[in-house]
Structure 1
């Protein structure tokens, strides 16, 4: 089991995950990352999430992978 952190940022802001989560494997980390992104983009707000990226890091601060919010949002119509 590993402790990972899910930080979100764009060019102007950052949302820092102070607690992290214990995960068993990379697949679980990817599932949790997708859940976090979907949760943020479906919350009523005026934020344009297309420029945001979720960064998944280990307990040493090394990035494991990232998920651009645009990959979940799709292309604007």
Structure 2
């Protein structure tokens, strides 16, 4: 079990996760980060550009564990 923090960052903005969450492994941490990014994109779809945003997942020492770009969950045009 790991205690990780899921911060969101974009150009000129940083949203800090001060509580964090317990996850079993990096797969669960990645899934949680993708869900967080997806929630932001869905709630502000069409009103905000998240192309340069990412979820920065860190441990208690603020060491980067994962970096998930919001673009991984953004709709694509075919």
TM-score where L is the length of structure 2: 0.87
Consecutive unaligned residues in structure 2, runs of 5 or more: none
Aligned residues between the structures: 77
- Root-mean-square deviation (Å): 1.6
Q: 1:19: how far off?
A: 0.5
Aligned position for 1:62:
63
What residue number does 2:30 align with? 30
Return the offset for 1:74.
4.8
Distance 1:37 1:8 in 2: 8
- Secondary structure of the residue aligned to 2:12 is coil
What does residue range 1-77 of structure 1 map to in structure 2 within 5 Å? 1-44=1-44, 46-75=47-76
Residue-by-residue CA offset, 1:30-70 (whole Å, 9 max, x unaligned): 11011101111000362211110110001110000101111
